[in-house]
A and B are shown apart, each in its own frame.
Chain A
Amino acid sequence: METQLVLEKWIGVISTVTIGANKEEGGSRANTVKIGGQSSLPLLFKEGNIPNRPVIAFEIWDTPPLDWPEELNSAYGKVLNDPFAWADKCVNEFKAQLLCVRMQGTHPDFGNKNPQEAAKFISMLLNKVKVPLVIIGSGDDAKDNLIMPACSEVAKGERCLIGCAVQDNYKTLVASVLADGHNIIAESPIDINIAKQLNILISDMGLSLERIVINSTIGALGYGLEYAYSILERARLAALSGDKTLASPFICFVGQEAWRAKEAKVDAHHGIIWETITATSLIQSGADLLVMRHPVAVEKVTKYINAFFDK
């Protein structure tokens, strides 16, 4: 006898966020990337519409990474010393759809680059590669408030995804994103209420909810993955049940978390598996945009995604 699946009827739809703008749209990107837009839980195609696949962004830095383990560095080799060559390798060799650039070199402890230098870097990067960009600060609130407006301004019209706004420091970033036509990442510390509050605070400043991507922060496999999983799940259930203030796509910084795990540093195979499993798990709970580091892990996760969608 055939088992009849019970199908949920959802009333909410996740907003569609477009990253990147092509010539017609006033930018210079060769392609654009859409995330979100679904009216169903992840990969449950019968319950609703899932117009866009989860997308992977390669993480690059504006400065040679200091704390990446050798197992990860060896996947890139010498290009890590030249951010533009690094970006180029991601796009041309690994076929990256989009890049996530972390402005680590602006951090007071890692180079302390000034806003002009940061803006110049972004401008050159936009010339060098034609994929859409996610740009994130170094995590030093005071410095990010100087750097990010400059980066935002120089990328005006390119419809980047810029982050991360946090509850205690969101106004400067929102104002820049609003002025320069980008999207924003709203970061909350594994807390669904703060995620929601921050979305409200940002939309109160005039940036529409449709331009927000939630970073609810995650932990890697064995390091809090289950908490991250359940927060994404709860937020998504609320959104599909009609809560517009949570109906944003999710971005997950998978590479950053997976490669911090002790296990990932044993050897490259361990690390790749750690990053892959963290990513695939989070896709099941709602991740729309995954920021990853190891090209082999990206390849595996891409296959995994395609297997669901190409059926």
Chain B
Amino acid sequence: MQKFKVTFFPDNKSIVVEKDKTILSAAISAGVYVNSTCAGDGVCGRCKVILKSGKVSTQPNGMISAEEKKNNIYLGCLTNIHSDLEVEIPVSSRLNFDKLTPEELEERLGSLYSKVEDIQQVKAEFDDGLFKHSPFATKLYLELSQPTLNDSVSDLERLYRALRRFEEFPVIQTGLFNIRQLGELLRDSEWKVTVTLGKRNDTVEIVLIESADTTDKNFGFCFDIGTTTISGQLIDLNSKKILGTKATYNQQATFGSDVITRIVYAGQADGLEKLHEAVCNTMNQIIRELVLENNVDLNDANCIVCSGNTTMIHLLLSVDPVHIRKEPYVPTANFLPVLRAAEAGIKINPRGLLSCVPGVSSYVGGDTTAGVLSSAIYKKDKLSILIDIGTNGEIVLGNKDFLVACAASAGPAFEGSGVTSGMRASSGAIQKVSINKDDFSVKYSTIADKKPRGICGSGYIDLLGALLEAGIIDKSGKIKVEDKRIRQTETSKEFVVCFKEDSDAAADIVISEADIENLKRSKGAIYSATAILVKHLGLEFSSISEIFIAGGFGTYLDIEKSIKIGLLPDLERSKFSFIGNSALAGARQILLSNQAMVMANILASKITYFELSVDPGYMDEYSQALFFPHTDLAKFPSVKF
């Protein structure tokens, strides 16, 4: 087989691949991140590359315009390599992996239990009273009595004896690694050591033995592994303080934007490995930056708790997710034992432990369990709903007696992905918008008050509401007026939110009719899933006393506008609370308390999964929701345009 060298710019990375491989697959092998929401099926048109030199063959497709063809632009996934190549990846095809600054994230994620209006004032605080402080990894300083002829128990039993003075641990385990070095270590340290204990399933394990007192250095990580966004926090396990928070796009995005595409990709040659590597890379990158910025030694990070949907957890652990996609949709595991983080490829202390929040089913994962845990809806007498708005939306309804959950595939639009000017909720993201009814002038505010770079999820909700209020779009989402801000492109009409010269973006910041269609489907999926769940249980929306909205939005979410566009049901506004990233908050609680971990296990087995696709009314409910606010206007009595 002939082999050719392909060089990618501006990364200047090269790789040698076999003839006829596609440019996209070469880019993936070379570790160059190219946008590709369809995972190389040739339908999304996002992996456009510029051919600088070399010979290729390509298949005809509707994604490349005549103008682009002239400029040597090809679709990476449909273009095969026939010689050595030099390929430029244009900015528009790159995946943007820049991170949020800590301040932005503190605001963004620190919104537990605050009312929507207060979100920006309220500081993030872990709910202290809920669970007893007993972190996943605990350090104990021991001063052992030296062995004598009268007290001649072995070194290991001596250690256990000292430990049992603190607490009556029924079973203590120690790995061979620790036993091998124990004799020397105890004597070198003059019998003064710090033992790191990890809770591993029903036993206690001696994770690490160090000389002297290092109890003040005990850190852990919690993560929320989303299909689109991965967020992580570094926690001081002694003080329970959040030392830093970071989020970035999941590098798996290059293999498809939804879980189904990724599961399909996992079935291809090396697919699972590449997906696993991508999620580990993303997490390790966040971990690395968090320890560097906080001057923490990676060896003092002893544990990590991950919440994520079932597919993401399978991929993290390199477990084939193939059966999640096939009827009857059974995952390999919902409850996973505590593992060594290194086994999964996560770089903390080599002996550090990794726990995954248990999931409910193939499509309701540990992120939902964590959300239920942190929103505490399982403790309430009255009925509440938790709506987690993400690429895979999840809805949980219940109280202290029962909990029922369903999943809605909403797509990544509310995470700022798959929409023309979309971006994550990071600095420069437009998150509030108002439009003047008379001259269509736009007022907006951005995260961190930076020049606008794009629009984040909450910005899109605000923008849709404003477009409807100003009468720029009709209830089906079509632009119905003419103005200098409105123009016709090759494919659809668009409204300019911010012209290029006023922004930090490479082009005008716009919302197109196609974007609106996309957002309409996302909001329709969330609303209809919620409505079906309520109906399925024989309830009415009016019998719900609280609704918690979770999701990776900006620092705020406008409930009024969310109702106006039909994302949320039309109920008294005081019933709604925006709680930010509830999956991450739940993972943090589990990291800090064994009680929370026990509760998560109880919750995961208690939550009943409801499969929407078997409900005959779902499609009808969904089509009805594809309108602003809804085809049945009687369901939104307070909404007037």
Q: Using CB atoms and an 8 Å cutoff, list the residues of chain A in contact with chain B.
A: 167-168, 171, 191, 193, 196-197, 200-201, 204, 243, 245
B474 at interface, CB cutoff 8 A: yes
B516: shortest Cβ distance to chain A, in Å?
Answer: 13
Contact of A193 with B623 at beta-carbon distance under 8 Å, contacts A171-B480, A200-B633, A245-B633 already known: yes
How far is A197 from B626 in the complex, measured between Cα atoms in Å? 9
Contact of A197 with B627 at beta-carbon distance under 8 Å, contacts A171-B480, A204-B474, A204-B475 already known: yes
Of the candidates A191, A193, A197, the one whose C-beta lies within 8 Å of that of B475 is A197
Contact B631 A196 (CB under 8 A): yes
Q: Using CB atoms and an 8 Å cutoff, list the residues of chain B in contact with chain A.
A: 474-476, 478, 480, 620, 623-624, 626-627, 631-634, 641
Of the candidates B475, B624, B634, the one whose C-beta lies within 8 Å of that of A201 is B475
Contact of A201 with B633 at beta-carbon distance under 8 Å, contacts A193-B624, A193-B626 already known: no
How far is A83 from B633 in the complex, measured between Cα atoms in Å? 44
B188: shortest Cβ distance to chain A, in Å?
Answer: 76
Contacts of A167 in B (CB 8 A): 476
Contacts of B620 in A (CB 8 A): 193
Of the candidates A191, A197, A245, the one whose C-beta lies within 8 Å of that of B476 is A197
Contact A197 B478 (CB under 8 A): no
How far is A142 from B475 in the complex, measured between Cα atoms in Å? 22
* Extra A-B contacts (16), CB below 8 Å, given A197-B475, A197-B627: A168-B478, A171-B480, A191-B623, A193-B620, A193-B623, A193-B627, A196-B631, A196-B632, A197-B476, A197-B631, A200-B633, A201-B476, A204-B474, A204-B475, A204-B641, A243-B634
Contacts of A243 in B (CB 8 A): 632, 634
How far is A279 from B634 in the complex, measured between Cα atoms in Å? 33
* CB-CB nearest 6 A-B residue pairs: A193-B623, A193-B631, A197-B627, A196-B631, A201-B474, A193-B624
Between A and B, 29 residue pairs with Cβ closer than 8 Å are A167-B476, A168-B478, A171-B480, A191-B623, A193-B620, A193-B623, A193-B624, A193-B626, A193-B627, A193-B631, A196-B631, A196-B632, A197-B475, A197-B476, A197-B627, A197-B631, A200-B475, A200-B627, A200-B631, A200-B633, A201-B474, A201-B475, A201-B476, A204-B474, A204-B475, A204-B641, A243-B632, A243-B634, A245-B633
Nearest to A169 among chain B residues (CB) is B478
How far is A75 from B593 in the complex, measured between Cα atoms in Å? 87
Nearest to B478 among chain A residues (CB) is A168
How far is A201 from B626 in the complex, measured between Cα atoms in Å? 13
Contacts of B476 in A (CB 8 A): 167, 197, 201
Contacts of A193 in B (CB 8 A): 620, 623-624, 626-627, 631
Contacts of B626 in A (CB 8 A): 193
How far is A191 from B476 in the complex, measured between Cα atoms in Å? 15
Nearest to B626 among chain A residues (CB) is A193
Contacts of B478 in A (CB 8 A): 168
The total number of A-B Cβ pairs within 8 Å is 29
How far is A201 from B478 in the complex, measured between Cα atoms in Å? 10
Nearest to B624 among chain A residues (CB) is A193
Which residue among A191, A193, A204, A245 has the maximum number of chain B CB atoms within 10 Å of its CB?
A: A193
Contacts of A196 in B (CB 8 A): 631-632
Which residue among B474, B475, B478, B623 has the maximum number of chain A CB atoms within 10 Å of its CB?
A: B474
How far is A193 from B624 in the complex, measured between Cα atoms in Å? 6
Contacts of B633 in A (CB 8 A): 200, 245
B639: shortest Cβ distance to chain A, in Å?
Answer: 12
How far is A120 from B631 in the complex, measured between Cα atoms in Å? 40
Contacts of B632 in A (CB 8 A): 196, 243
Nearest to B621 among chain A residues (CB) is A193
How far is A193 from B476 in the complex, measured between Cα atoms in Å? 11
Contacts of B627 in A (CB 8 A): 193, 197, 200
How far is A168 from B620 in the complex, measured between Cα atoms in Å? 21
B211: shortest Cβ distance to chain A, in Å?
Answer: 71
A186: shortest Cβ distance to chain B, in Å?
Answer: 13
Nearest to B474 among chain A residues (CB) is A201
How far is A243 from B641 in the complex, measured between Cα atoms in Å? 20
Contacts of A200 in B (CB 8 A): 475, 627, 631, 633
How far is A171 from B476 in the complex, measured between Cα atoms in Å? 12
Contacts of A204 in B (CB 8 A): 474-475, 641
Which residue among B476, B478, B480, B641 has the maximum number of chain A CB atoms within 10 Å of its CB?
A: B476
Which residue among A167, A171, A196, A200 has the maximum number of chain B CB atoms within 10 Å of its CB?
A: A200
How far is A201 from B480 in the complex, measured between Cα atoms in Å? 11
Nearest to B623 among chain A residues (CB) is A193
Contacts of A191 in B (CB 8 A): 623
Which residue among A168, A191, A196 has the maximum number of chain B CB atoms within 10 Å of its CB?
A: A196
Contacts of B631 in A (CB 8 A): 193, 196-197, 200
Which residue among A191, A201, A243 has the maximum number of chain B CB atoms within 10 Å of its CB?
A: A201
B535: shortest Cβ distance to chain A, in Å?
Answer: 17
How far is A173 from B634 in the complex, measured between Cα atoms in Å? 27
How far is A201 from B476 in the complex, measured between Cα atoms in Å? 8
Nearest to B634 among chain A residues (CB) is A243
How far is A171 from B482 in the complex, measured between Cα atoms in Å? 13
B296: shortest Cβ distance to chain A, in Å?
Answer: 55
Contacts of A245 in B (CB 8 A): 633
Contacts of A197 in B (CB 8 A): 475-476, 627, 631
How far is A193 from B528 in the complex, measured between Cα atoms in Å? 14
B481: shortest Cβ distance to chain A, in Å?
Answer: 10
B331: shortest Cβ distance to chain A, in Å?
Answer: 34
How far is A27 from B631 in the complex, measured between Cα atoms in Å? 36
B70: shortest Cβ distance to chain A, in Å?
Answer: 29
How far is A204 from B641 in the complex, measured between Cα atoms in Å? 9
Contacts of B480 in A (CB 8 A): 171
Which residue among A167, A197, A204 has the maximum number of chain B CB atoms within 10 Å of its CB?
A: A197
A239: shortest Cβ distance to chain B, in Å?
Answer: 13
How far is A200 from B626 in the complex, measured between Cα atoms in Å? 13
A195: shortest Cβ distance to chain B, in Å?
Answer: 9
How far is A193 from B632 in the complex, measured between Cα atoms in Å? 9
